[in-house]
C-alpha cells in the first residue's frame, strides 16, 4: 500500500537494509584444538565484511523494512512499555547498549552471605568481587569472595490487574513487602540476577541472553522457539481469523526482545499478557513521555517538534499498518485473550477484549525491535581499520596487546575470535546444535559458582532445559561468549558484573578465573598464561575496540531522552521516602539521559570506572547520571 509516513526514513537506514546478506557457517567438531586452529586462521577479518543474518521468510510478515525500524526504535526506547509507565528496554541498555548505573544495582546470589542494602551505591572499593592472597592464582587463600551480582533495576514487584486505555501505567496490586527488595518497610525496584550485556552487535549472536535461552527461531510470541508449541498469532485468512505458528529463522534478537516486556522482574507486573500490552500501547503516543531530537537518524522526521514523542499522526497503529502485511492486523473482529472471536466486527471497549492488532503485538514488537537492533552495528573501530590495512590505526602498545591476545599463552582468541570477536556469533558458531553448546560459543567462565548460576545448564520459563540434549555436567556454569567491541564503555564486566575495570578483567584471566570449574573440569578456565608485563598492553588493545560513534552516541547509536531510575529518595539519610503518603513503594530518584541526534553528544560517554570515581562531573563526560529529571 502507499506510504503514509512523510518524509521517508533517513538514507542511512535504507542503506542498512540494502546490505547484501550472507551467512557464513562453519560446522566444527567441539574439539578444543579445532577451535584454536580456527581462531588462528580467522583472526584478521574486519566486522565490515559480515552481513546481518538472512531471514528469507521475513516478507511473509513485513511489508516495509524502513517503517519496521521506525517502529522498533520507538518501542525499544518507549518507557510506556513498562507496567509502571517508566521502564523501557533502553532503561537497561541506554549506555553503549548496556547499563552503568551504580545505585540499587546489587542482587544477592542464592548463596550470598553478604548483607545488601537495596539503595546502596557501589564504590571502587567494592571491586573486584574476588581477591586472593596471591593475585595470580585462584587456588590461593581468598581474602574476599563476594557472591553477589551487579544487575539492573527493573520494576517493583506487583500483581497485574489490567490496562487502562490511554494510560501508560498498568493497574496493579501490591503483593506484600519482600525482604529482598525492601528497605524500612518500603518496596523498591527488583534487580536482575545478571548484568545487562550490550545490544550493540548482538544481531550477530546465534543465541541471545547470557544463557542462550533466546532461540535462533522466533515463534512470534516467546523467546523459546519451536520448544514452545503453544505460541500462536492470528492471521486473517479470507475474513476468518485463524491461529498461525511462526517459525522465523535467524531471529534470536526477536526471541530476546519479547522476553523482558512480560518478565515480572524486569518490565512487567506479574501476569500481564501480550494482548494487554498491545491494547495499551495502541492507545498511547509513541514516546509520549520523552523527547526526540529533530535530527534523530531514524525518528527525527517524525518527531513532535516543540513537544514530546512523535507527531500526532504517527501512532503505533499507523506504524504497524505501514510495516506489516495486512493479514496480521486488518481484521475488524474482536477477540478475547485466547484469540477466540467475540464479535466479527466491533471495537474492543471492555476489559479482556482485543483487536487482532493488539493480539499480535508480540509479533510486531519482536520483529520491529530486532530490525532496529540490526542497525546497531559497531564496525568502525581502530581495530577494524587496522585489519583493513591502516597500519597506523593501532599504536605500538595496542599492536603488542593484539599479538598477546592472539598468542597461544593468553588463549583470548580461543573464545573471542573471528570478525565478531566471539565464537558465539554467526561466522563460526554451529547453528542448531543444541547437543553441545560449546559449538555455539558457550563456555565455562569461572566467574561465579555453578550453584549460584548454572548458565546454559539452566531451565527456561517453561521449566524446560535450555539445551535439553546437552550433557548438563559439561555445560554447567557456561555462558555465551560476548563480543568485545566498545568494552571500554560497557562495565561492569561479566554476567555477574564482578569487575569494574579492564585491568581487573585481564587480571581475572591471568589467574584463570575466580572459582573452580567443578567436577572433572579442573580449576578455573584453563592453562591461561598472561604475564604481568603483558597485561597493560592487552588493556590498550581492548581500548582500541571502541567505535567513536558509540563513544559519542552518534548515529546509528543516537536516541530519544530517558529518565532512568538511579535509586531512591532518602529523607532523612538512610530513610526512604514513600512515593505518596501511605504508599508501600519508595520514591524513585531519577537521572536525565538527554536525547541525542545524529551528531551525538559534545563529550564522550562516561565509563563505569569513571562513574565510580566521580570523573566527568565537570561536564567532560555524558551520561554521568547527575542531572535530575521528572518522568
Place 23 in a pLDDT band, splitting at 50, 70 and 90: very low
Place 566 in a pLDDT band, splitting at 50, 70 and 90: very high
Question: Mean pLDDT, to the nearest integer, of 95-111?
Answer: 88
Inform me whether the pLDDT recorded for 181 exceeds 70.
yes
User: pLDDT tens, 255-272?
Assistant: 999 999 999 999 999 999
The rounded mean pLDDT for the chain is: 89
Q: What is the SS3 string spanning 541-570?
A: HHHCCCCHHHHCCCCCCCECCEEEEEEECE
Inform me whether the pLDDT recorded for 17 exceeds 60.
no
| Cα 287-323-213 angle, rounded to 5 deg | 75
Query: Cell numbers 502485511 label which residue?
Result: 325
Residues 617, 592: Cα–Cα separation, whole Å:
14
Which residues in 146-192 belong to E strands, given as ranges? Answer: 148-150, 158-162, 171-174, 182-183, 186-187
Inform me whether the pLDDT recorded for 25 exceeds 50.
no
Residues 574, 571: Cα–Cα separation, whole Å:
7
Write the DSSP string, 27-94.
---S-HHHHHHHHHHTSS--GGG-PPPP-TTGGGTBS-HHHHHHHHHHHHH-GGGSTTSS--GGGGS-
Q: What percent of the chain has pLDDT over 90?
A: 75
Q: Please name the helix (run of DSSP H) or strand (run of DSSP E) that holds residue 256, with its range, or none.
A: helix 252-257
Residues 381, 400: Cα–Cα separation, whole Å:
17
Q: Which three cell numbers stand for residue 577?
A: 521516602
Under a CB-based contact definition with an 8 Å cutoff, are residues 133 and 234 in contact? no
pLDDT for the residue 1: 41
Q: Which three cell numbers stand for residue 2?
A: 502507499
User: pLDDT tens, 358-401?
Assistant: 999 999 999 999 999 999 999 999 999 999 999 999 999 999 99
Residues 231, 47: Cα–Cα separation, whole Å:
35
User: pLDDT tens, 469-518?
Assistant: 888 888 999 999 999 999 999 999 999 999 999 999 999 999 889 987 54
Place 7 in a pLDDT band, splitting at 50, 70 and 90: very low
Inform me whether the pLDDT recorded for 73 exceeds 50.
yes
Q: Which residue has the higher pLDDT, 8 or 56?
A: 56
| Secondary structure of residue 622 in the 3-state scheme | strand
User: pLDDT tens, 511-542?
Assistant: 889 987 544 444 467 778 899 999 999 999 99
Residues 507, 489: Cα–Cα separation, whole Å:
18
Centre a 10 Å sphere on the Cβ of residue 447 and count the other Cβ atoms it contains.
24
Distances from the Cα of 506 to the Cα of 132, 396, 486, 529, 533, angstroms:
15, 19, 16, 11, 12
pTM of the predicted protein model: 0.92
pLDDT for the residue 178: 65
Amino acid at each position: 500500500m502507499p506510504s503514509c509516513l512523510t518524509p521517508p526514513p533517513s538514507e542511512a537506514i535504507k542503506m542498512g537494509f540494502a546490505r547484501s546478506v550472507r551467512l557464513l557457517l562453519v560446522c566444527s567438531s567441539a574439539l578444543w584444538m579445532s577451535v584454536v586452529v580456527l581462531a588462528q586462521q580467522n583472526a584478521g577479518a574486519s566486522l565490515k565484511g559480515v552481513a546481518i543474518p538472512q531471514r528469507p521468510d521475513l516478507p511473509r510478515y513485513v511489508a516495509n523494512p524502513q517503517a519496521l525500524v521506525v517502529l522498533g526504535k520507538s518501542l525499544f526506547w518507549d518507557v510506556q512499555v513498562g507496567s509502571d509507565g517508566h521502564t523501557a528496554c533502553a532503561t537497561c541498555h541506554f549506555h553503549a547498549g548496556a547499563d552503568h548505573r551504580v545505585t540499587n544495582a546489587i542482587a544477592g546470589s542464592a548463596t550470598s552471605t553478604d548483607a545488601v542494602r537495596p539503595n546502596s551505591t557501589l564504590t571502587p572499593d567494592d571491586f573486584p568481587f574476588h581477591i586472593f592472597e596471591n593475585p595470580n592464582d585462584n587456588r590461593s587463600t581468598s581474602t574476599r569472595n563476594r557472591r553477589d551480582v551487579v544487575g539492573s533495576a527493573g520494576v517493583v514487584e506487583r500483581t497485574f490487574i489490567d490496562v487502562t486505555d490511554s494510560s501508560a501505567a498498568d493497574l496493579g496490586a501490591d503483593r506484600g513487602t519482600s525482604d529482598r527488595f525492601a528497605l524500612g518497610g518500603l518496596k523498591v525496584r527488583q534487580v536482575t540476577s545478571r548484568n545487562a550485556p550490550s545490544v550493540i552487535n548482538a544481531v550477530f549472536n546465534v543465541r541471545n541472553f547470557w544463557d542462550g535461552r533466546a532461540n535462533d527461531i522466533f515463534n512470534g510470541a516467546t523467546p523459546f522457539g519451536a520448544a514452545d508449541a503453544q505460541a500462536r498469532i492470528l492471521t486473517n485468512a479470507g475474513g476468518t481469523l485463524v491461529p498461525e505458528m511462526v517459525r522465523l529463522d535467524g531471529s534470536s534478537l526477536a526471541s530476546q526482545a519479547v522476553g523482558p516486556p512480560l518478565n515480572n522482574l524486569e518490565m512487567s507486573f506479574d501476569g500481564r499478557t501480550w494482548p494487554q500490552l498491545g491494547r495499551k500501547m495502541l492507545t498511547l503516543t509513541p514516546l509520549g513521555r520523552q523527547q526526540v531530537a529533530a535530527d534523530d537518524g531514524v525518528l527525527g522526521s517524525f518527531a513532535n517538534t516543540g513537544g514530546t514523542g512523535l507527531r500526532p499522526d504517527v501512532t503505533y497503529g499507523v506504524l504497524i499498518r505501514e510495516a506489516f502485511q495486512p493479514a496480521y492486523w486488518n481484521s475488524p473482529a474482536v477477540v478475547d485473550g485466547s484469540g477466540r472471536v467475540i464479535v466479527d466486527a466491533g471495537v474492543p471497549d471492555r476489559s479482556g477484549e482485543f483487536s487482532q492488532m493488539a493480539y499480535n503485538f508480540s509479533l510486531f514488537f519482536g520483529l520491529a525491535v530486532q530490525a532496529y537492533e540490526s542497525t546497531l552495528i559497531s564496525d568502525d573501530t581502530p581495530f577494524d581499520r587496522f585489519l583493513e590495512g591502516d597500519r597506523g590505526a593501532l599504536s605500538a602498545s595496542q599492536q603488542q596487546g593484539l599479538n598477546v591476545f592472539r598468542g597461544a599463552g593468553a588463549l583470548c582468541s580461543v573464545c573471542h575470535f573471528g570478525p565478531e570477536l566471539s565464537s558465539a556469533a554467526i561466522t563460526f558458531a554451529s547453528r542448531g546444535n543444541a547437543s553441545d553448546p560449546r559449538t555455539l560459543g558457550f563456555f565455562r567462565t569461572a566467574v561465579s559458582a555453578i550453584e549460584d548460576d548454572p548458565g546454559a545448564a539452566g531451565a527456561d520459563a517453561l521449566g524446560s532445559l535450555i539445551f535439553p540434549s546437552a550433557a548438563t555436567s559439561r555445560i554447567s556454569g557456561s555462558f555465551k561468549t560476548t563480543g568485545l567491541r566498545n568494552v571500554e564503555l560497557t562495565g561492569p564486566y561479566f554476567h555477574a558484573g564482578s569487575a569494574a575495570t579492564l585491568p581487573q578483567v585481564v587480571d581475572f584471566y591471568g589467574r584463570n578465573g575466580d572459582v573452580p570449574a567443578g567436577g572433572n573440569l579442573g580449576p578455573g578456565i584453563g592453562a591461561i598464561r598472561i604475564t604481568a608485563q603483558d597485561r597493560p598492553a592487552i588493556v590498550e588493545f581492548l581500548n582500541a575496540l571502541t567505535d567513536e560513534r558509540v563513544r559519542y552516541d552518534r548515529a546509528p547509536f543516537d536516541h530519544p531522552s530517558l529518565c532512568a531510575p538511579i535509586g531512591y529518595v532518602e529523607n532523612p539519610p538512610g530513610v526512604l521516602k514513600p512515593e505518596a503518603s501511605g504508599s508501600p513503594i519508595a520514591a524513585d530518584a531519577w537521572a536525565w539521559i538527554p536525547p541525542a541526534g545524529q551528531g551525538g553528544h559534545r563529550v564522550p560517554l562516561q565509563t563505569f570506572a569513571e562513574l565510580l570515581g566521580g570523573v566527568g562531573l565537570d561536564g567532560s563526560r555524558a551520561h554521568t547520571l547527575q542531572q535530575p529529571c521528572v518522568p
